[in-house]
Structure 1
Amino acid sequence: MLFLLLLAIVPLTLASDLLFTSSVTFCQPPEFLLIEDFNLIYFNNNQSIFFNISAASVQTNVSVSANIVLDAYGMTLVNVSVALCDILGGALCPLPTYQFVGSQTISLPSSLGVAQHVPGIAFAVPDLEAYAQLTLVDVNTNEVKACVQATLSNGKSTHQRPVQWALGASSIAVLLGALWQTTRSVSHPLIAHRLVDLFHLLQFIASTGLLGLNYSLLYRAFTLNFAFALGLVSSTTLQTAINNMRAHTGGTLANSTSTDAVGFVDRKLSPFSTVVLQGLMRTSLNNPTENSLFDGTTLLDSTGLVPVVTNTSSDVLQAGIPIYTNYISIATANAFATVFLVGVIIFAIALTVAVLLTGMRLLVERSQWGNTTVRGWFTKHSPAFIQAWSLRLAHQGLIALPPTLIFAFYQWTLRDSWLTTLLSVIMLLGVSSLVIHASYRVLRLVHDHTVDMLDTPSSTVTPYDPLYGRFRAPRYYFFEIFLAALILRAIVIAFGQGNGLAQVVVCMLIEIGVLAAHVVFKPFGTRSGDIFSIYFCVVRLVSTGLMLAFVENLDVAPIPRVAIGAVIAVILAVAVILLLASIVLSLGQGIWRHRTAHGPQIDIEKSTLDSALPGDKSSTRHHPSSSPNTSERHSSSTTLAETPATT
């Protein structure tokens, strides 16, 4: 896992040093030269170029000169002009009006000094911010006849599919560990809380890519590894179904685009905006739209032709959620519907498992199938297991709360499909009402009884344990701070699109407040728990503060932005690794304690989940101040097993 996360930050160099076009677009509407395809590969080992092109001129008697610009991280590495009438025996003067298709490998002469202009780091740094631009200018009128840009890539990226699979597998493993501990542990199941902690940390990392900022490509690609934690799962079948649904319910916004077209939506910002480009195109382009990535974009259509990226296009991808979702082929207007359908699928799977367990229990009871251990588990533990976890999922919704809030709120700002908007209201009310009801029940129980009531497992208290169970009893109310931070951050992300500076500042204030609350109240039952909680608060605060470098108005140079993005990625990756390590350690300690304390009787021993059944009060979870025999939640161990929640 450590290797895979580091792989996302420092991809391995497995291929030869080369640069190739990752996407191609027109810089202005193609009125004189039509290009259907253009690919270019530069091999650094032998300094050769392979290209293929399919194009045609639609105007006769046009003689042009070609201007070639190579830009990387805002620095112009190459800027040369070539008179086409002076090369190839004048075959391109004037431009031919027929369709021509060709490919060629050309060895570049050393006299051009290409190796001196292309630094070696260009072949190693992931998510290279570079492009090549070809501009054809009429030699008689000095009018721009055609402009084509091609983003350059070296094939390395911090967006790694193995990392996504590893994180997904780790999440499933933590879920299974939580389920196992819930049924087997005689003490409070820590792993169930750690599951929420893990998802909230992954969701925080993913949400840092949703702000209206001028991210470095390296950091944005890094955050895409965690998109699944927000329910953003790209599937062609799923997106097609959502597109059809929106089309029949009043949806008017554009559907998802290909990654090639999205590769150019950053043009207004780094790295696709230079003085050279502005000088050449001043007569053709208007002032860019504020807070849009480049001037606009026409998305790649079904014809497969080279897309046009100009300021006259009607579809403008705004910095923030639109860019983030389109990078994983999810249309802006499809974001909430994707989260909703993924949630429905997960709920259906959980419901199916519960039904199967119930059916197997009935089968065992009636047929006496299996040995004593199997019959004992299904008879004694499965009812409590199903009830407790159903209540956890239905009454808390803590994992689903952040993506629901963010994308439901954002859906309201789009004014697209009426059905999608209706579903966003229903889902928001459903998840919020469950959390609000659980919060009210906890506060009411403490008001009507005492705080000690929360340490007595019963059918009245146990269902709401995910809210307060991670905190020591006197600080049960800390879940209110936890929820307030989630809600405020979702509001800032959803409604603050287009104002990146305000989003970063408000998010910093939220993180400062959460950090201060952890320092003052010390909500966890052990010193190690409080220290770890403060560590995660500092991680969130520092990573949020460093994002000031991505604010467009501050005009931070491209290379420092890339470096800062790499630093943030490392900080967050280390936090994920430490949290997973603490979960593994906690689970290992739980298994060891069971084996040493209970021996062979563990199979028939009563689980604390049985106390969730009505009328069962035989098991209690002691308060650390009232009994020397503290529970696992308040263990005196000072290991990483006491990992705190992450807001």
Structure 2
Amino acid sequence: MIFSALARLRAVALTTFLLLSFSHARDESLFTSSVTYCEPPETLLVQQFDVAYIAKNQSVSFNIIAASVEADVNVTANLLLNFYGMKPVNLTVDLCSILGGALCPLPMYNFNGSDSLSLPESFSSQVPGIAFKIPDLEAFAQLTLTEVGTGDIKACVQATLSNGWSTHQRAVEWSVGVVALVALLLALWQSRSPNALGPYRLLDLMSLYQIIAASALWNLNYPSVYRSFALNFAWALTLFSSPTSEVQQAINNMRALTGGNLPNSTSSSAVGFVNRKLSPFNSDAAVSLNGQSLSSDIFLSGVNNLMTARTQPLQGVRQLSAAAGEVQTVTEASANVLQAGLPIYVNSINIAAANAFMTVFICTLILLAIVGFLVAFGYSCLWIINRRQMLREDLRPWLTYSFSPYVKAWSLRLAMIMLSPILIFSMYQWTLKDSWLSTLFSVVAFIGVIVCVCYPALSIFRLVRRSGPPALYTNAEVTGPTVPLYWQYRSQRYYFSAVLLAGTFLRALFITAARSSGIAQVILTLLVELAILAGLLILKPHKTRGADVFSTYLAIVRLVCTGLMFAFVENFGVQAIPRVAIGIIAAVIFSIAVLVVTFNLVLHSGIEQFWKKEQCSSRPSSRQESADTMLEKGSPVHTQFDAASVYGRATNPTPDRNIPLDPSIIKPYSPNTPTSIDYASTRDRDSASTNLGTVLPRRWSFTPLHTPTDSSALDHISYSHSSTILSTTPEENTIVPGHK
């Protein structure tokens, strides 16, 4: 078994290294991921602007579709490359000084072409090698046309760059989703017993997923790498969407009919709409004109090639016009710019900020419909079983009685899982003042989830006030439906779930109520996490030390990662590269926590039962072998003394601890000892005493089907407890209860 596990580990490691080698073998390149106007266009209209830099051959590939619509315009061109806030390339070209003045003034015609330019070694050396390997690259190229003499900007185009690597991966989404699904199935099976830890670990796992996703909703300047990492857990907040989602189009239409006036969801990338002060732009000014001059001979051959360019696009250059449609104008003053926090997060998965709650609401309704179908199916099966008497008579009432508390308990768990997303997006919907129907649904959802969680909690507090905390663990009417709230805690700390629920509510409140101040969100959330950690350390609410250690570890992870978010406060002005490093550290800490919770789920999944069964399967043979050996000796004394060790303890075993014995009772056996016993004195004796060593009268012995020889032998060598004796025959070598 051990060797097979090691073989599987070697196979996994080999596969991982092979995948890493294949990924490293991919050509290093940079290409455009979004194109927007950084100023309203006047002279140059761009329909498509694709640029790809291939490091292998140090070349740049262009695919441009543009049109000049204004006559007699003399312009200079400025090319700016921003890489994590740095500007390694900032070049200015006077178009009147190249091609013999062919581009001065700018001719009026449509330009549709593509070609490749070989760049000099001096240019390629300015591009760091890490730019091709770091995930979620924060870089953009900007082309600005400025009129000579007046300095007016005639055109400004920005194209964000990507290297193809990202921490937001579909495989990661599916992996964490499969872990949650397996945990759900195990919890459904184990929840037959309130002592099973599977259902509670499911709540811990979903809470961790939701906290990771919600940590990217604050008004902070997150590095792109951390925001993309948090997008892997967006489904835990019931944010399901796709670029071609018909649900989003239906929500857009509903909002338009009910007073909605905010921007709708689009299938285009949200990167180009991010506020220019935030990642991935990291620029205080949208336009930079202070560039160094560029020798015209570098671009002469390239411009000549572009003037005679092929009309077919190059292979490998990303096509943006078909997917993105018309190029949008995005400035700091425009209404479509995405601010930090929740707007950027939800738009990154093609959900408009105004559509966020309705997306959660519709996904919740679908989930409730699935749960309702399963519950109806279960009750139908119970009805058929009772109708046709398909089970034993003693099982049918038990199954019918236990199914209803089982459904109620899982309804409470579902409400606890949905509490965080509904609170966050319901309260956020109230701040938008958009669609009255969406606002109405948000109020209904908010009240519904609060009632589903608080009503069982109130019933618990009423019972405790009337009968005390121990009643929670003995009253069957309360134990069934409300065990998710208190059963994992000690009776003195039954209320600790209220602390965690209050923390969930406060986190959601800070995301929405303090959305204008990122530092306030971080400080308030940090205080909440600190209070929860202090409660765990002081109260130690769980029944076992291991559970306390596990919960404390998760609280420390939340506290540390919340503290790291201070580096993303925009007012602190932390540079882009340190912010990226801190974002990667926070993502790694959360990833390790996910692995720890997954490992804990495996440990409490019942897998140890296989080990126990394997051990138990080997015990009967050894016991039988010991029994056979003792029988071969032919000594009845050996048989009596070792029978308990061979066949197990009695039904009413002696205590594991040592019990003080009464010296007045324990006396050596003597043939002259009278057989009569003062039964009154034995009845008054303390329960902790014993009559070990005394001889019971013959009429107390009960040895069925004994031969006269066996019975006689038993009477002379019997070794008995106060309530049990052993027979000596091999067939009856068992512990038999005595009779008074």
Q: Distance in 2 between matches of 1:131 and 1:303?
A: 17
Q: Which residue of 2 aligns with 1:556?
A: 574
Matched, 1:20 2:24: no
Matched, 1:141 2:129: no
Picking from 248, 253, 261, the partner of 1:244 is 253
- Counterpart AA for 1:339: V
Q: Which residue of 2 aligns with 1:455?
A: 473
Picking from 197, 205, 208, the partner of 2:215 is 208
Q: Which residue of 2 aligns with 1:611?
A: none
Q: Report which structure shows greater RCO (CA 8 Å, sep ≥6).
A: 1
- Counterpart AA for 1:222: F
Alpha-carbon spacing, 1:50–1:378, altered in 2? closer, same or farther (3 Å) = farther
Residue 517 of structure 1: CA displacement?
Answer: 0.7
Picking from 207, 217, 224, the partner of 2:231 is 224
- Counterpart AA for 1:21: T
Picking from 366, 369, 374, the partner of 1:348 is 369
Matched, 1:41 2:52: yes
Picking from 28, 40, 57, the partner of 1:29 is 40
Partner-residue secondary structure (3-state), 2:222 = coil
Alpha-carbon spacing, 1:14–1:498, altered in 2? closer, same or farther (3 Å) = farther
- Counterpart AA for 2:34: S
For the 8 Å contact 2:71–2:105, the answer to whether it is kept is yes
Matched, 1:531 2:549: yes
For the 8 Å contact 1:11–1:126, the answer to whether it is kept is no
Residue 387 of structure 1: CA displacement?
Answer: 4.1
Alpha-carbon spacing, 1:554–1:427, altered in 2? closer, same or farther (3 Å) = same
Alpha-carbon spacing, 1:62–1:11, altered in 2? closer, same or farther (3 Å) = farther
Q: How far does the alpha carbon of each residue in 1:387-409 deviate from its partner, in whole angstroms, 9 at most, with x for none? A: 41344315871101111111111
Of 468-477 and 155-164, the range deviating more from structure 2 = 468-477
Matched, 1:362 2:383: yes
Residue 363 of structure 1: CA displacement?
Answer: 3.5
Of 351-360 and 477-486, the range deviating more from structure 2 = 351-360
Alpha-carbon spacing, 1:11–1:134, altered in 2? closer, same or farther (3 Å) = farther
- Counterpart AA for 1:556: V
Residue 241 of structure 1: CA displacement?
Answer: 1.4
Picking from 130, 139, 146, the partner of 1:130 is 139
- Counterpart AA for 2:356: A
- Counterpart AA for 1:360: C
Residue 593 of structure 1: CA displacement?
Answer: 8.6
Q: Which residue of 2 aligns with 1:100?
A: 111
Q: Distance in 1 between matches of 2:588 and 2:212?
A: 12
Residue 328 of structure 1: CA displacement?
Answer: 0.7
Matched residue count:
576
Picking from 252, 258, 262, the partner of 2:271 is 262
For the 8 Å contact 1:522–1:530, the answer to whether it is kept is yes
For the 8 Å contact 1:259–1:327, the answer to whether it is kept is no
Q: How far does the alpha carbon of each residue in 1:454-508 deviate from its partner, in whole angstroms, 9 at most, with x for none? A: 1126123321111112212211011121111111111101111120010001111
Q: Which residue of 2 aligns with 1:65?
A: 76
Q: Which residue of 2 aligns with 1:198?
A: 205
Q: Which residue of 1 aligns with 2:240?
A: 233
Residue 99 of structure 1: CA displacement?
Answer: 1.5
Alpha-carbon spacing, 1:431–1:275, altered in 2? closer, same or farther (3 Å) = closer
Q: Distance in 2 between matches of 1:367 and 1:596?
A: 39
For the 8 Å contact 1:213–1:552, the answer to whether it is kept is yes
- Counterpart AA for 2:239: L
- Counterpart AA for 1:231: T
Alpha-carbon spacing, 1:109–1:127, altered in 2? closer, same or farther (3 Å) = same
- Counterpart AA for 1:220: R
- Counterpart AA for 2:72: N
Matched, 1:54 2:72: no
Q: Which residue of 2 aligns with 1:189?
A: 196
Of 115-124 and 263-272, the range deviating more from structure 2 = 263-272
Alpha-carbon spacing, 1:217–1:14, altered in 2? closer, same or farther (3 Å) = farther
Residue 529 of structure 1: CA displacement?
Answer: 1.4
Residue 321 of structure 1: CA displacement?
Answer: 0.9
Q: How far does the alpha carbon of each residue in 1:389-443 deviate from its partner, in whole angstroms, 9 at most, with x for none? A: 3443158711011111111111111111111111111111111012111111111
Residue 264 of structure 1: CA displacement?
Answer: 3.8
Q: CA RMSD in A?
A: 3.1
Q: Which residue of 2 aligns with 1:305?
A: 326
Residue 108 of structure 1: CA displacement?
Answer: 1.7
Q: How does 1:105-124 map to 2 (within 5 A)?
A: 105-110=116-121, 113-124=122-133
Q: Distance in 2 between matches of 1:585 and 1:43?
A: 48
Q: Distance in 1 between matches of 2:464 and 2:284?
A: 65
Q: Distance in 2 between matches of 1:276 and 1:68?
A: 15
For the 8 Å contact 2:75–2:145, the answer to whether it is kept is yes
Of 138-147 and 527-536, the range deviating more from structure 2 = 138-147
Q: Which residue of 2 aligns with 1:410?
A: 428
Q: How does 1:146-545 map to 2 (within 5 A)?
A: 146-183=155-192, 185=193, 188-235=195-242, 236-274=245-283, 277-280=286-289, 304-366=325-387, 380-381=398-399, 384-385=402-403, 387-394=405-412, 397-456=415-474, 458-545=476-563
- Counterpart AA for 1:496: A
Partner-residue secondary structure (3-state), 2:528 = helix
For the 8 Å contact 1:27–1:148, the answer to whether it is kept is yes
For the 8 Å contact 1:23–1:264, the answer to whether it is kept is no
- Counterpart AA for 2:87: T
Q: Distance in 1 between matches of 2:338 and 2:175?
A: 31
- Counterpart AA for 2:533: L
For the 8 Å contact 2:213–2:237, the answer to whether it is kept is yes
For the 8 Å contact 2:169–2:232, the answer to whether it is kept is yes
For the 8 Å contact 2:28–2:132, the answer to whether it is kept is yes
Q: Distance in 2 between matches of 1:537 and 1:10?
A: 37
Q: Percent identity?
A: 47
Partner-residue secondary structure (3-state), 2:50 = strand
Q: Which runs of 5+ in 2 are unaligned?
A: 1-8, 291-320, 618-654, 658-740
Q: Distance in 2 between matches of 1:6 and 1:496?
A: 45
Residue 367 of structure 1: CA displacement?
Answer: 5.1
Residue 575 of structure 1: CA displacement?
Answer: 0.3
Of 267-276 and 528-537, the range deviating more from structure 2 = 267-276
Residue 94 of structure 1: CA displacement?
Answer: 2.2
Alpha-carbon spacing, 1:310–1:354, altered in 2? closer, same or farther (3 Å) = same
Q: Which residue of 1 aligns with 2:633?
A: none
Q: Distance in 2 between matches of 1:366 and 1:570?
A: 56
Residue 555 of structure 1: CA displacement?
Answer: 0.2
Alpha-carbon spacing, 1:570–1:553, altered in 2? closer, same or farther (3 Å) = same
- Counterpart AA for 2:277: K
Give the alignment's TM-score, normalised by structure 2. 0.73
Of 478-487 and 356-365, the range deviating more from structure 2 = 356-365
Partner-residue secondary structure (3-state), 2:510 = helix
Alpha-carbon spacing, 1:272–1:487, altered in 2? closer, same or farther (3 Å) = same
Partner-residue secondary structure (3-state), 1:400 = helix
Partner-residue secondary structure (3-state), 1:480 = helix
